[in-house]
Structure 1
Amino acid sequence: MSTTPDVSSRRVRAGSPAGRIAASLFAAVLLLSVVAQVSLAGPETVWEPLLARLAADGVDRAATGALFASPGVVFDPSIMAKKVDSMVKNRFEPVTVTRRSLEKSNYRRFLDPWTISKAGRYMAENRALFVSAERAYGVPAEVVAAILLVETKLGSYLGDREAFGVLASMALCSDFELVRPRLKNLKNSPDRTAFAAQAAKDKGDWAYAELKALLAYAAAKKISPLAIPGSIYGAIGICQFMPSNALKFGVDADNDGSVDLFAEADAIHSVANYLRGHGWREGQSEEERRAAIYSYNHSNLYVMAVLAVADKLVAQRPAS
Structure 2
Amino acid sequence: MQFCCHGAWRAGTGCLRGGPALGLGREKAMKRYAFALALVLVSGWLAAAHGGVDAGWQPLMDRLAADGLDRAFVERVFAGAGVDYEPSIMARKVDAMVRKQFEPRPAPTKKTLEASNYRQFLTPASIEAGVRYIRENRAAFDRAQREFGPPPELICAFLMVETKLGTYLGDQDALSVLASLARASGLGQIAPYMKTLRGDAERSAYADWAAKDRSEWGFRELAALLRYAKAKGQGPGTIPGSIYGAIGICQFMPSNALRFGVDGDNDGVLDLFTPTDAIVSVASYLRGHGWVPGMTSEQRDKVVYAYNHSELYVLAVTTVAERLKARLGG
Task: State the shift of 1:66 in Å.
Answer: 2.0
Indicate conservation of the 8 Å contact 1:44/1:65, yes or no.
no
Say if 2:173 and 2:239, in contact at 8 Å, map to a contact too. Answer: yes
Q: TM-score, normalised by structure 2?
A: 0.86
Aligned length: 300
- Measured at CA, do residues 62 and 158 of structure 1 come closer, stay the same or move farther in structure 2, by a change above 3 Å? same
Corresponding residue number in structure 1 for 2:97: 87
Paired letter, 1:33: A
Partner of 1:106: 117
Partner of 1:124: 135
Cα drift, residue 98 of structure 1: 2.0
Cα offsets for 1:101-139 (capped at 9, x unmatched): 211111111111111111111111111211221122110
Partner residue of 2:43 out of 38, 47, 71:
38
> CA 1:41 to 1:272, structure 2 compared with 1: closer, same or farther past 3 Å?
same
Alpha-carbon distance in structure 2 between the residues aligned to 1:237 and 1:184: 30
Task: Indicate which of 40, 58, 76 corresponds to 1:66.
Answer: 76
Aligned-pair distance for 1:213? Answer: 0.8
In our comparison, the structure showing a higher alpha carbon Rg is 1
Provide closer, same or farther for how the CA distance between residues 131 and 65 of structure 1 changes in structure 2, counting only shifts above 3 A: same
1:314 corresponds in structure 2 to 325
Looking at structure 1, the residues matched to 30 and 267 of structure 2 have their Cα atoms a distance apart, in angstroms, of: 58
Q: Which amino acid aligns with 1:106?
A: N
User: Which of 145, 164, 178 is equivalent to 2:189?
Assistant: 178
C-alpha displacement of 1:61: 2.7
| Bigger shift: residues 20-29 or 236-245 | 20-29
Counterpart code for 2:46 = A
The aligned counterpart of 1:56 is: 66
User: For residues 153-192 of structure 1, what are the structure 2 equivalents within 5 Å?
Assistant: 153-192=164-203
1:290 is aligned to: 301
Higher relative contact order (CA 8 A, sep 6+): 2
Distance between the aligned counterparts of 1:174 and 1:35, measured in 2? 18
Does 2:229 match 1:210?
Answer: no
2: distance between equivalents of 1:277 and 1:296?
11
What is the CA distance between 1:39 and its match in structure 2? 4.3
Structure 1: how far apart are the matches of 2:202 and 2:290?
Answer: 35
Note closer, same or farther for the CA distance 1:203–1:220 as it changes in structure 2 (3 Å cut).
same
Counterpart of 1:101, as a letter, is T
Change (3 A) 1:58 1:124: closer
SS in 2 for 1:69: helix
Cα gap change, 1:285/1:196 in structure 2, threshold over 3 Å: closer, same or farther? same
Cα root mean square deviation, aligned: 1.8
- Amino acid across the alignment from 1:95: R
| 2:22 equivalent in structure 1 | none
Q: What is the identity, as a one-letter code, of the residue corresponding to 2:163? A: T
Structure 1 range deviating more: 299-308 or 72-81 = 72-81
Aligned-partner SS, 1:258? coil
Describe the shift of the 1:63–1:44 C-alpha distance in structure 2 as closer, same or farther (beyond 3 A).
farther
Q: Which moved more, 1:89-98 or 1:24-33?
A: 24-33
Q: Which amino acid aligns with 1:205?
A: E
Could you report, residue by residue, the CA deviation over 1:14-56 in whole angstroms, capped at 9, with x for unpaired residues? xxxxxx7656655554444344433443133121221122233
Could you tell me which amino acid in structure 2 is paired with residue 119 of structure 1?
Answer: G
**Letter of the structure 2 residue corresponding to residue 207 of structure 1:** G
Instruction: Tell me the equivalent position of 2:19.
Output: none
- Where structure 2 has 5 or more consecutive residues not aligned to the other structure, the ranges are 1-24, 48-52
Moved more, 174-183 or 80-89: 174-183
Matching of residue 303 in structure 1 with residue 314 in structure 2: yes
Q: Say if 1:150 and 1:306, in contact at 8 Å, map to a contact too.
A: yes
Change beyond 3 A, Cα 1:58–1:134 = closer
Q: Which residue of 2 aligns with 1:270?
A: 281
Distance change (3 Å), C-alpha of 1:231 and 1:25:
closer
Kept in 1: contact 2:81–2:237 (CA 8 A): no
- Give the alignment's TM-score, normalised by structure 1: 0.88
Distance 1:66 1:284 in 2: 48
**Partner letter of residue 314 of structure 2?**
V
Instruction: Please give the alpha-carbon distance, in whole angstroms, between the structure 1 residues aligned to 2:92 and 2:314.
Output: 21
Residue by residue over 1:270-312, the C-alpha shift from the partner in whole angstroms, topping out at 9 and shown as x without a partner, is 0011001101111212221011011111111111000010011
CA-to-partner distance for each residue in 1:57-110, whole Å, 9 max, x for gaps?
Answer: 333333212211236321111111111111111110111122222111111111
Distance 2:178 2:214 in 1: 10
Q: Which residue of 2 aligns with 1:233?
A: 244
- Structure 1 spans left out of the alignment, 5+ residues: 1-19
